[in-house]
Amino acid sequence: MKAIQCREYGLPATLEFSEVQVPTPADHEVLIQVKAVGINFPDVLIIQNKYQFKPTLPFSPGGEVSGTIQAVGRSVNNLKVGDSVIALCGWGGLAEFVNVKASRVFIMPPGVNSVQGASTLYTYGTSYHALKDRAQLSAGEAVLVLGAGGGVGLAAVQLGNIMGATVIAAASGNDKLNVCKKMGAHHVINYSTEDLRTRIKEITGERGVDVVYDPVGGSLAEQALRSMAWKGRYLVVGFASGIIPSFAANLPLLKGASIVGVFWGSFAEREPERNAQNFSQLAFWVREGKINQHIHNIYSLEQAPQALQDLMDRKVIGKAIVQIAD
């Protein structure tokens, strides 16, 4: 089969387009013929050996796929050959076939195509868990989304809107912010040209924002924390900037605020039933047309390194997809 291979750690240009053997599923796995792969930030970290999971070299990156089951391990009884599925494989997805643990494979909701399927679980799963379970966002509250044009950011914009919040989208460029407006942002802030705190004050008055959704970290974090309302919740989602922020403890004290960690992968492992309930709600909104993933570009398997490079270069708005089969 054809596959993108990481043979030594490095930047996307070091990845190789190769011919490798089709894997055989273990007892608890299924073999999926991959149709589409959603590209996510961990894919660029894993090939540089900067991610918490470290597969043995050589491996194929690609953590989120849609496709069709081709073979089923002996102890799998909830899935069968021919099922159309979406799956969170961690890595291995940028290949014509991938083995995935059955517990990380979900039946594709009816009416969802392979590109939509590969662009929903990871970003919307994370952002829904963050806003609903961790922030307990209520209708009428104001949520500030940093990195709002990225994968999880744009999902948070759309979900915040669906959940009845006032959504303030903040990103580095107007191209990203225009998409955020189409996806439901009520206000936008360009943090390359505008001062974040001043703009939040203009939008919310003295009140500030109830929830900050932060997948970026770095220097924006303290400004956002200082712009929170009384009893605000600051969601620590990720550090796409490469800088983990630190805060003086007086800042949450003064606001009666909480700094809340979000680790969706761990939530999905530890609380599979609540995660499945979240997925059912997301699938319902996809079917209703309330969730519309923004697809930045569709790349071929051979072009996958370019998809990863575009993500690293902050060019991707919403989701980059690698399509392997129809």
| DSSP conformational letter for 131 | I
- Shortest distance, position 230 Cβ to ligand NAP, whole Å: 25
Query: Can you read off the two tokens belonging to residue 229?
Result: 């309302």
| List 241, 275, 278, 293, residue binding ligand NAP (CB under 6 A) | 241
| List 92, 160, 238, 305, residue binding ligand NAP (CB under 6 A) | 238
- Shortest distance, position 46 Cβ to ligand NAP, whole Å: 10
* Smaller CB separation from ligand NAP, 134 or 255: 134
| List 33, 172, 174, 297, residue binding ligand NAP (CB under 6 A) | 172
Binding mask 177-216 for ligand NAP (x = CB under 6 A): --------------------------------------xx
| List 36, 37, 316, 321, residue binding ligand NAP (CB under 6 A) | 316
Residue 28: strand, helix, or coil: coil
- Shortest distance, position 295 Cβ to ligand NAP, whole Å: 12
264 contributes a contact to ligand NAP by CB under 6 A: yes
- What Å distances lie between residue 86 and 60, 119, 251, CA to CA? 18, 10, 41
- 312 burial class (0-12, 13-18, 19+ CB within 10 angstroms)? middle
CB 1 within 8 A of CB 22: yes
**What is the radius of gyration, based on Cα positions, of the chain?**
20
Query: Can you read off the two tokens belonging to residue 52?
Result: 């918490």
- Shortest distance, position 318 Cβ to ligand NAP, whole Å: 8
Which range of residues in 12-20, 158-166, 262-270, 277-285 is near ligand NAP by CB under 6 A? 262-270
- 5 burial class (0-12, 13-18, 19+ CB within 10 angstroms)? middle
CB 285 within 8 A of CB 109: no
Rounded to whole angstroms, how far apart are CA atoms 36 and 58?
A: 21
Which range of residues in 27-35, 70-78, 199-207, 308-316 is near ligand NAP by CB under 6 A? 308-316
By rule CB under 6 A, what count of residues binds ligand NAP? 28
* Sequence-separated (6 or more) residues with CB below 8 Å from residue 284: none
Binding mask 90-129 for ligand NAP (x = CB under 6 A): ------------------------------------x---
Q: Which of residues 136-155 bind ligand NAP (CB under 6 A)?
A: 147, 149-153
Q: Are strands 209-214 and 187-190 parallel, antiparallel or unpaired?
A: unpaired
CB 318 within 8 A of CB 293: yes
One DSSP character per residue, 146-165 reads TTTTSHHHHHHHHHHHHTTP
Rounded to whole angstroms, how far apart are CA atoms 70 and 72?
A: 7
| List 263, 281, 303, 309, residue binding ligand NAP (CB under 6 A) | 263
* Smaller CB separation from ligand NAP, 73 or 265: 265
Rounded to whole angstroms, how far apart are CA atoms 215 and 146?
A: 7
* Smaller CB separation from ligand NAP, 73 or 117: 117
- Shortest distance, position 5 Cβ to ligand NAP, whole Å: 22
Helical packing angle, 121-128 and 151-162, nearest 10°? 50
* Smaller CB separation from ligand NAP, 45 or 163: 45
Which residues of the chain form contacts with ligand NAP (CB under 6 A)?
Answer: 40-42, 126, 147, 149-153, 171-172, 176, 215-216, 237-242, 262-265, 311, 314, 316
